Amino acid sequence: MSPPARRNRMFHPAKAGAVLDALTRNMGVRERLEPYRAWKVWAEVVGPQTAQHAQPFRLRGGVLEVRVDHPVWMQQLQLLKPRILERLNLAIAPGVLEDIHLRHGQPEIPAVVTPPEEIASRALTPAEEEELNRLLPPDEDELHNAWRKLLVHYLQSKSSSGP
Contacts for 110 with CB less than 8 Å, ≥ 6 apart: none
Domain boundaries, the chain: 22-104, 115-160
pLDDT per position as a tens digit, 94-125: 888 999 999 998 887 654 444 455 445 577 88
Measured distance CA(60)–CA(98) in Å, rounded: 10
Assigned CATH for 22-104:
3.30.300
The candidate with the shortest Cα–Cα distance to 148, out of 50, 12, 8, 18, is 18
Residue-wise pLDDT for 13-68, tens only, equals 777 777 777 766 666 666 777 788 888 999 999 998 899 999 999 999 889 999 99
pTM flag (> 0.85): no
Report the C-alpha dihedral over residues 67, 96, 25, 145, rounded to 10 degrees: -50
Burial label, 54 (beta-carbon count in 10 A; 0-12, 13-18, 19+): buried
Q: What is the pLDDT of residue 89?
A: 93
